[in-house]
Amino acid sequence: MLSLKSIDLKKVKTETLIIPVCEDRDIHDDKTVSSLITKAKKLKEFKGDKGEEIVFYTPPEIKAGRVIFMGLGKLEKLNAESLRAFAGKAVKKCINMKLTEVLIGCPSAKKIKMEMPLPLEAIIEGAYLGNHLFDKYKEEKKHSSLKNISFLVKPDVAKSSGKILKSITTICEGTIFARDLINTPSNDKKPEQFTKIITDTAKKENLRVKIFDEKELKRKKFGAMLAVAAGSESKPRMIVLEYNPKGAKKTVALVGKGVTFDSGGINLKPTGSLEEMKSDMSGAAAVAATLIALAKLKPKTKVIGIIPVVENMPSGNASRPGDIVKSYSGKTVEILNTDAEGRLILIDAISYVIKQYKPQILIDIATLTGACVIALGEKIAGVFSSDDELAQSIISSGEKTHERCWHMPLPDDYKEDLKSDFADFKNIAGSRWGGAITAALFLSEFVGDTRWAHIDIAGPSYMKKGNAYCGVGGTGFGVRLFCDLLEKL
Catalytic residue positions? 269, 343
Residue 343 near residue 224 (C-beta atoms within 8 A): no
Please tell me what DSSP assigns to residue 378: S
Compute CA 28 distance to the chain's CA centroid, rounded to the nearest angstrom.
32
For residue 91, the Cα-to-chain-centroid distance in whole angstroms is: 20
ω into 236 cis (within 30 of 0): no
CB 64 within 8 Å of CB 17:
yes
Asked whether 250 and 243 are in contact (CB, 8 A), the reply is no
Inter-residue contact 328 to 348 (CB < 8 Å): yes
**What's the half-sphere exposure (Cβ side, CA atoms, 13 Å) at 77?**
12
The DSSP annotation for 426-486 comes to ESS-SSSTTHHHHHHHHHHTT-TTSEEEEEE-TTTTEESS-BTTB-SEE--TTHHHHHHHH
Report how far residue 13's alpha carbon sits from residue 16's, in angstroms, rounded to the nearest whole number.
Answer: 9
What length does the chain have? 489
Instruction: Name which of 104, 113, 110, 115 is nearest 153 in CA terms.
Output: 104
254, amino acid identity: L
List helix spans (H) across 298-387: 342-357, 370-376
C-alpha distance from residue 120 to each of 30, 173, 406 (Å) = 16, 17, 26
- E strands in 89-246: 101-105, 148-152, 208-212, 237-243
Distance in angstroms (rounded) separating the CA atoms of residues 469 and 240? 31
Helix ranges, 239-341 (H): 282-297
Cβ neighbour number for residue 295 with a 10 Å cutoff: 21
Q: What are phi and psi of 28, to 5 degrees?
A: -115, 150
Measured N-to-C along each axis, helices 282-297 and 191-204 cross at an angle, to the nearest 10 degrees, of 10
Determine contact, residues 102/150, Cβ cutoff 8 Å.
yes
